A = this chain, B = another copy of it.
């Protein structure tokens, strides 16, 4: 997650010349930034450099990054929802699809490319709140006072995101990841009503396109950790991404054998000693078991992470995994 990133000096150098949105919207820049951590760290997979909010202008809402996102207007009523378009990714975000095509040519065949999008509930949260928040009062107020409007909004988000993520697969993304960061703020019954069905809708679009193309495309779903983790079984994801606040062996016990897991090292461990990094990585691998696990951080890497520590982690995981399978 966010391996394409802000902690690398080569990324910062590039960002001194180009702002964040320009970097997302210029295929050559997005491609270059995606490749930076692959070159420096030797990771097994690449994740597209982009942002979950890039589909918003296509829906009719401009967004700025200062550096957090600020939306031009908020969506809080049925009338507001009516103004939203379901966007066509080929028209609204062609640069994302171009970046993916470019990356498939630039990446070594052994390094798969992960495309991603924001899950409908998380997208809707930004549309209602208009910016990042700690309290999420406006989205909750909408859910609890006008659930019809909330569902209309979530439907438009799901349709937009489904087309967007499916288009990424058509363009060449070899795995499709949905980030549902804010879903972890929901009570179990609200998760089942307002988040889960829309995740399934998006993954249905991805699955349909993958089937048409004759491809096996993993569907990865990330929603942090909450007490309703087992509800993720019903999302039609094939991999569940987890933050670090649960042990992987316990998470597996709740999710069952049919789902793979991704995660779950606390990214702040990379601020500590290399010995600590290695021992904690070993613990994650031990708890994950020998199969069905994609090693990853449990959340975004912090800007002041030493790049050498990230490299130390990648090397440790490679070494520990080869011992394990030997």
Contacts and interface: CB of A to CB of B under 8 A. Distances in A.
Nearest to A141: B271
A152 interface: no
A147 to B, nearest CB: 9
Interface string A128-146: 0000001111001101110
What 6 A-B pairs have minimum CB-CB distances, sorted nearest first?
A227-B246, A144-B272, A140-B268, A226-B245, A187-B244, A141-B271
A137 B271 contact: yes
B140 A271 contact: yes
A272 B246 CA distance: 32
A137 B304 contact: yes
Contacts of A170: none
A251 interface: yes
Nearest to A246: B227
Interface in A90-148: 134-137, 140-141, 143-145
Contact of A136 (B135, B141, B268): B268
Contacts of A271: 137, 140-141, 144-145
A282 to B, nearest CB: 12
A295 B254 CA distance: 27
A59 interface: no
Given A145-B276, A190-B266, A227-B229, 8 more contacts: A137-B268, A140-B266, A140-B269, A140-B271, A141-B268, A184-B245, A188-B246, A228-B247
Contacts of A189: 247, 283
A21 interface: no
A239 to B, nearest CB: 18
A258 interface: no
A302 interface: yes
Nearest to A270: B144
A273 B247 CA distance: 38
Contacts of A266: 140, 187, 190
A323 interface: no
Most buried by B among A250, A266, A283: A266
Nearest to A248: B227
A268 B144 contact: yes
A81 interface: no
A272 B141 contact: yes
A144 B276 contact: yes
Interface string A283-326: 10000000000000000001010000000000000000000000
